[in-house]
Structure 1
């Protein structure tokens, strides 16, 4: 009967030790964001877990007291429960001295195996699989033990804190969620098929807004359609018919002297009423918001939101108009390929290993699309055309070729000394010797 009670007591100790193992892992592995979601759903225990994780010293002291005390008690009780049966078993085949030694080590190994399996490995793996669910179940018993064992916990926690401070070890966990943490979760969701790759692209674009400047997104000044305040009625009508935009900049003599903008609806009203269009008329123009080229895209979006503007004009450091950014530009930057149509795309795939790329493609988009890891941070160029000019160290010409990061960039078209279109071809993993010999002698030496 004593052996039965001892085995029953050992099982109780295993269950208690399993409780502490679950407590330790679940409280450490539970995510603050998931706990906050449970708290918002009305689970008050989740708030208690968050508060306990903020000051985990007491919790770990209780867990260590429980685990070590139960392990010692389990070892003593396990030997008392298992040595007699093993002694009777081995006495039939071994000498008394060997019987005692074999019974001792067999009882030790069996008790250890039971604790390792049922008080350690299985509970810990369960707690790692569902940490938040386990944490809300054990938080109140742990809090109760904290009240009961407060003097012992305070003593151990004080000593631990002092030792960690004096040795320079961190005392509090860093719960700040970084961009890398979010993207790691998103990438895991893509691998599991829970998140579409295009949705991941949108998330990446949102996080990149702080790093992208206005100059990488704007419509260049060469592509801006604008009116001069002195334009004739006939000139305004002709330009309006050729370029059906929603708003038009109005400038005085040159593009760099922006005086306002006019809405196409207002122009349409003049046309319907068959009135003469005079952009010099008082009150006909609306004010334009000017922003510096160095603003990040997140700051640009904030400006647009605060001013309720449909577009902003980008000014460079010399006070000249560098371009403009519309709401459509912002949408394309954030949504990317989810809203972009193939015919409007700046990067068009021709076949499995070649693409047509506009020279005005922002270098950030080029880098992400082709995974160009050799592009430095804050490079001295902003577009694909700027990259080619930087690598050539001269003004590009048609048919110029550059090898870079495993791709061949070939200039297909030039417009006023500006690269208009590129042909990008992915090079084979091992470059054939014949192609290496055929490379032009004046080709810049870049990493291919």
Structure 2
């Protein structure tokens, strides 16, 4: 309707005006609907009572019930639901006239209802939406997806865009245990070999301890400097080439971090906690993947950590983010209390489980396949529906045949 109004359709402008005064509009419709239904029913009853006597009231009830249910409730509402835009435009002018006539009465009734509810502690705000705009859009996307109007990929992309405000960099960052870094105390030749053997273009430099990041070395800057000294790596001063480290708090929302990346014109930042300790790193690609899904290039590893099995189960690496698993499998595992699948199991179990232990929660069966020290490295996740079928199959095979 907004697009039609911008295109010059005056009827769409009338529809949008009615939506802006939604309470008055709905109140007017209810008043008009009840006046007509009650008035026509009373008139029909009086006519039929005059013709058939006391039995006319029964006839009037049957006739008016059929007429009202079919022609005043089901038929017009079904027509409106099937073609909402067409019906809205067609009825925009008549409804504006009716709202103009009955509007004052609707306002008076609204105020009376508010006064009646006030003693019970119920305060109704004027035109206060129950859902936020993002929640309304998300609900509409899910509805259109179920009805087939929006593909899963499009729903996930638009949903990921809406999630940027709720997610923090700590939920999408590369954890420090997986960061590929370089010791700045190595010789220039060794640093060049490290950079050339790395699949990444930006490498954090550290000195004394991996927590002490002293800069970020970009492969292109290193190659330019190497070319400038005629290919002699021994003449390089690596720290002079390295870029200054950029640290961001782990509580920064992805929306704010995306804006910061665009403003700073860089794609790489180190994530620190409240004590200033390095927790990991976040890149522009990590944020974009929350919108468009996993981005793979010729240097990325092919293993994604999610391996569906023929029996309906899925073998998953413990470090796989819950959001990625939900997106790939179209599941709905909660990610409010944990970021990774292993973290979810530990949170629900309230302990670090051992290999072979099985847990059931959120409609899935989780079996710990491998564990390294205190880390869960691999799990098998099976939807309960598939798990029950797998449990029932052996029982059916071992059941004795009747004589």
Q: Are the equivalent residues in 2 in contact too, given 1:250–1:260 (CA < 8 A)? A: yes
**Residue 162 (structure 1) aligns with:** 112
Picking from 173, 182, 198, the partner of 1:227 is: 182
- Write out per-residue CA displacement over residues 257-305 of structure 1, whole angstroms, 9 at most, x where no aligned residue: 2232222112222444313356646752222321122323333323222
Of 275, 278, 301, the match for 1:321: 278
User: Cα distance, 1:388 vs. partner?
Assistant: 5.2
Question: How far did 1:312 drift?
Answer: 0.8
Contact 1:313/1:325 (8 A) holds in 2:
yes
- What residue is the counterpart of 1:410 in the other structure? 368
Determine whether 1:137 maps to 2:90: yes
The CA distance in 1 between the partners of 2:346 and 2:58, in whole Å, is: 78
SS of match in other structure, 1:267: helix
Structure 2 contact 225–241 (Cα < 8 Å) conserved: no
What are the ranges of 5 or more consecutive residues in structure 1 without an aligned counterpart? Answer: 1-34, 88-98, 436-448
Kindly provide the CA deviation profile for residues 106-130 of structure 1, in whole angstroms up to 9, marking residues without a partner as x.
Answer: 5775566555544554223323333
Answer yes or no: is the 8 Å Cα contact 1:290–1:313 preserved in 2: yes
Q: Is the 8 A contact 1:236 1:277 kept in 2?
A: no
Q: How does 1:346-357 map to 2 (within 5 A)?
A: 346-357=305-316
Matches within 5 A, 1:29-428: 35-56=1-22, 59=25, 63=29, 66-67=32-33, 70-71=36-37, 74=40, 110=63, 113-114=66-67, 117-145=70-98, 149=101, 153-154=103-104, 157-168=107-118, 170=124, 172-175=126-129, 176-272=131-227, 273-276=230-233, 280=237, 283-336=240-293, 343-366=302-325, 369=329, 371=331, 377-379=336-338, 382-387=339-344, 391=349, 393-394=351-352, 399-405=355-361, 406-412=364-370, 414=372, 417=373, 419=375, 421-426=377-382, 428=387
Partners of 1:363 and 1:194 lie apart in 2 by 26
- How far, CA to CA, are the matches of 1:313 and 1:283 in structure 2? 19
Number of residue equivalences: 377
Q: 1:258 to 1:278 in 2, by over 3 A?
A: farther
Instruction: Report if aligned partners of 1:209, 1:297 keep a CA contact under 8 Å in 2.
Output: yes
Whole-angstrom CA distance in 1 between matches of 2:31 and 2:149: 42
Give the whole-Å Cα distance in 2 for the aligned partners of 1:53 and 1:140.
Answer: 14
Look up the SS of the partner of 2:388 in the other structure. Answer: coil
Larger Rg: 1
Distance 2:345 2:49 in 1: 81
Q: Which moved more, 1:69-78 or 1:115-124?
A: 69-78
Q: Mark the runs of 5 or more structure 2 residues left unpaired by the alignment.
A: 395-403
Q: Is the 8 A contact 1:354 1:423 kept in 2?
A: no
d(CA) in 1 for partners of 2:59, 2:92: 37
1:76 Cα deviation after fit = 7.6
- What TM-score, normalized by structure 1, do the two folds share? 0.68
In 1, Cα distance between equivalents of 2:38 and 2:83: 29
Q: Do the aligned partners of 2:317 and 2:378 also contact (CA within 8 Å) in 1?
A: yes
CA shift at 1:183, angstroms?
3.5
Decide whether aligned partners of structure 1 residues 378 and 277 sit closer, same or farther in structure 2, where only a CA change above 3 A counts.
Answer: farther
SS, match of residue 167 in structure 1 = helix
SS of corresponding position for 1:137: helix
**Structure 1 segments (4+ residues) deviating >6 Å:** 79-84, 102-105
CA distance in 1, matches of 2:70, 2:312: 54
